[in-house]
């Protein structure tokens, strides 16, 4: 397995503050993190990204690549000549920017 980049401090601050669910987003922790990280490494070997959150209403996963957040769907795979292609649906220049968008999603998603 390749070396994954460390997550920004903001992730740890969110966990410590118990800000782990911003519906429809949820941070990946423990077994859920391990499962998703293993799956991504199997599907996209060598793509050094760290999943840290998933949308609960679809298969979107927010991942850290060491410099920015990339939003992927690791179950809706695109293929070129049979080879799985890495597809970034959206990107954010920082985890801060992703968190702002996650809060906006929370506001727009409405009550549970």
Closest C-alpha to 84, from 52, 45, 54: 45
Distance CA 68, CA 36 (A): 19
CA dihedral for 77, 64, 33, 102, sign (positive or negative): negative
Instruction: Note the pLDDT of residue 3.
Output: 65
Average pLDDT of the segment spanning 65-72:
95
Strand order in the sheet with 69-73: 21-22, 25-27, 50-55, 60-64, 69-73, 90-92
Q: Check residue 30 and give its pLDDT.
A: 94
Residue 79 has pLDDT above 80, yes or no: no
End-to-end alpha-carbon separation of the chain, Å? 38
Mean pLDDT over 58-80 rounds to 88
């Amino acid at each position: 397995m390749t070396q994954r980049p460390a997550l920004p401090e903001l992730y740890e601050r969110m966990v410590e503050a118990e800000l782990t669910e911003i519906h429809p987003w949820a941070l990946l922790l423990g077994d859920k993190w391990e499962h998703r990280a293993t799956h991504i490494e199997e599907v996209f070997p060598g793509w050094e990204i760290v999943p840290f959150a998933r949308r609960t209403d679809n298969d979107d996963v927010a991942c850290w690549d060491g410099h920015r957040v990339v939003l992927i769907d690791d179950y809706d795979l695109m293929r070129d000549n049979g080879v799985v292609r890495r597809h970034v649906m959206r990107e954010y220049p920082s985890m801060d920017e992703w968190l702002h968008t996650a809060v906006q999603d929370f506001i727009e998603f409405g009550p549970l």
